[in-house]
Amino acid sequence: MLFQQFDQLLFLARGGKTVYFGPVGENSSTMLEYFESNGARKCADTENPAEYMLGIVNAGKNDKGQDWFDVWKQSNESTQVQTELERIHKEKATEPSGVDDPSQGHSEFAMPFWFQITQVTYRVFQQYWRMPAYILAKWGLGIVSGLFIGFSFYGAKTSLQGMQTVIYSLFMICTIFSSLSQQIMPVFVSQRSLYEGRERPSKSYSWKAFLIANVIVEIPFMVVMGILTYASYFYAVVGVPDSTTQGTVLLFCIVFFIYASTFTHMVIAGLPDETTASAVVVLLFAMSLTFCGVMQPPSALPGFWIFMYRVSPFTYWIGGMAGTQLHNRQVVCSTAELSIFNPPSGQTCGEYLMKYVTAAGGQLLNPEATSDCNYCSLEVADQYLITAGISYSDRWRNFGIMWAFIGFNIFVATLMYYLVRVKRWSSADMKESVMKLIPGKKSKAGN
């Protein structure tokens, strides 16, 4: 019975008059004993104690004609309560007020901040668990997109075209980003509306706990999505390389989706609705993807736009992924990619091209031939990647930069939520702030 979950009961009659304050007792025995001993009829075994109590109090008086409020004031239970209150008052009167020591003062919230985070995070996890359609849609996006991209670029060959196939498959993986953001934003807006409409006004918990909890809860689901996308895409395109390559690529897949989640929170945190945020996400996503170095190498970008290449997170993600997947991959040029020519009379292909191959790299497929020399401009994929500014040795640097972007997203999300939805700006405050920025101007407060 729900009523039995209460340890103490404060029962007020009409007008806010106390008619009982004390323990309920096992099976409501303590409460029933009080009313029955003060002139109420006996509660039948088949009666609901809560309904019994309401019935006798709403009657107004007991069997002796006494008002229940007067009965309470004259009871031993009331005397005990008053004695306990006086003891508490005396005890608190001897304690320091906490005015001089902020750590001893009253907090804005009933619970400590870390307790708020744990409880709110647990609650948001429960809410996500009750939204299987949202979770399955998220994971389904990763699986379907991974399979589609994986089998679109299935079995990338070891030719020059095969290397480009691997890089363009990574470019296509990045396109999941926008769709994933569109999924996350409505859920966050719904959570935020609930918090700001009901829980923030009642001081249930801090806005910081709300924001941190929503960021944290997305991470495990992003990890699973990264694993599913990796399994759907990677082996179809690259095959089964060594375990180090597999593990590194898996980590990059996971960090990509965690970044997508925190980026979405950064954008939506301070904006009023998902429609507005979607426009911002699409714009930033398009600029980041366009200037990540896949469509044009950094050397071909106009001077100003090299800035976008350096600040785009996709630059470092694709660099880390491509550098890992193609490292030490032997290049076997197709017939169309070979340079075929004849050496001077009396020389073999090897004699004619020895110095050039030593200086420029590449591979000569028939060094003993005296005609139709077959030359491939690359020997390993790393040589091609260098021209795009990608190096295998930078993979962990790129991985760390992705985590730096994640930290930046969380910081900006917190800042924007505070500035837009927590901080109360008045026209006078804004005017004073602007005046402080103008040399030679003073605010009224400073005059």
Task: Please give the single-letter amino acid code of residue 108.
Answer: E
CA–CA distance, 73 with 75 (Å, rounded to integer): 6
pLDDT at position 435 is: 66
Do 50 and 154 lie in a common domain? no
- Residue 118 shares a structural domain with residue 187: yes
**431 vs 437: CA distance, rounded Å:** 10
Contact 277, 268 (CB under 8 A): yes
Q: Is residue 247 part of a domain?
A: yes
Question: How many domains does the chain divide into?
Answer: 3
Do 180 and 294 share a domain, yes or no?
Answer: yes
Strand boundaries in 316-423, DSSP class E: 339-341, 363-364, 373-376
One domain, residues 193 and 140: yes
Same domain, 135 and 271: yes
Question: pLDDT by residue (tens digit) across 308-324?
Answer: 889 999 999 999 999 99
pLDDT beyond 70 at 3: no
The domain of 49 spans: 2-74
Cα separations (Å) of 22 from 34, 82, 296, 436?
10, 12, 77, 59
Clarify whether residues 291 and 402 are in a common domain: yes
Q: Are residues 354 and 395 in the same domain?
A: no
My answer on whether 146 and 220 are in the same domain is: yes
| 265: alpha, beta or left? (left if phi > 0; alpha if psi -120 to 50) | alpha
* CA distance linking residue 183 with residue 149, whole number of Å: 20
Q: How do 339-341 and 373-376 pair as beta strands?
A: antiparallel
In a domain, 312, yes or no: no
Residue 308 placed within a domain: no
Find all residues with CB under 8 Å of 446, minimum gap 6, and list them: none
Q: What is the pTM of this model?
A: 0.73
Q: What is the mean pLDDT of residues 65-86?
A: 87
Residue-wise pLDDT tens digits, 194-248: 898 888 888 888 999 999 999 999 999 999 999 999 999 999 998 898 999 999 9
Q: What is the mean pLDDT of the chain?
A: 87
Residues 66 and 189 both lie in one domain: no
Give the 3-state secondary structure of the chain.
CHHHHCCEEEEEECCCEEEEEEECCHHHHHHHHHHHHCCCCCCCCCCCHHHHHHHHHHCCECCCCCEHHHHHHHCHHHHHHHHHHHHHHHHHHCCCCCCCCHHHCCCCCCCCHHHHHHHHHHHHHHHHHCCHHHHHHHHHHHHHHHHHHHHHCCCCCCCHHHHHHHHHHHHHHHCHHHHHHHHHHHHHHHHHHHHHHHHCCCCCCCHHHHHHHHHHHHHHHHHHHHHHHHHHHHHHHHCCCCHHHHHHHHHHHHHHHHHHHHHHHHHHCCCCCHHHHHHHHHHHHHHHHHCCCCCCCHHHCCCCCHHHHHHCHHHHHHHHHHHHHCCCCECCCCHHHCEEECCCCCCCHHHHHHHHHHHHCCEECCCCCCCCEEEECCCEHHHHHHHCCCCHHHHHHHHHHHHHHHHHHHHHHHHHHHHHHHCCCCHHHHHHHHHHHCCCCCCHHHC
> 10 Å Cβ neighbour count for 255?
24
C-alpha distances out from residue 174 to 11, 188, 229, 343, Å: 61, 22, 12, 46
Strands 8-13 and 17-23, by their bridges, are: antiparallel
Residue 60 lies in a domain: yes
In a domain, 54, yes or no: yes
What does the alpha-carbon distance between residue 108 and residue 111 come to, in Å, rounded to a whole number?
9
The strand pairing partners of 61, in sequence order, are 67
Question: Looking at the predicted structure, is the pLDDT value of residue 49 above 60?
Answer: yes
The residue behind tokens 């944290």 is 216
* Together in a domain, 343 and 196: no
Query: Are 31 and 127 within one domain?
Result: no
Looking at the structure, tell me whether residues 282 and 194 fall in a common domain.
Answer: yes
In the chain, the largest separation of any two C-alpha atoms, in whole Å, equals 133
Give the pLDDT of residue 70: 87
Q: Which of 74, 97, 126 is the last residue of a domain?
A: 74
In a domain, 145, yes or no: yes
Q: In this predicted structure, what is the pLDDT of residue 169?
A: 92
Read off the pLDDT of residues 116-167 as tens digits, 9 standing for 90 and up.
Answer: 999 999 999 999 999 999 999 999 999 999 999 999 999 888 888 888 899 9
Query: Percentage of residues in the chain with pLDDT exceeding 90?
Result: 43
Q: What is the pLDDT of residue 374?
A: 92
Q: Which residues pair with 341 in a beta bridge?
A: 373
Residue 167 falls inside a structural domain: yes
Tens digit of pLDDT for each residue in 393-404? 999 999 999 999
User: Is 432 within a domain?
Assistant: no
- The amino acid at residue 134 is Y
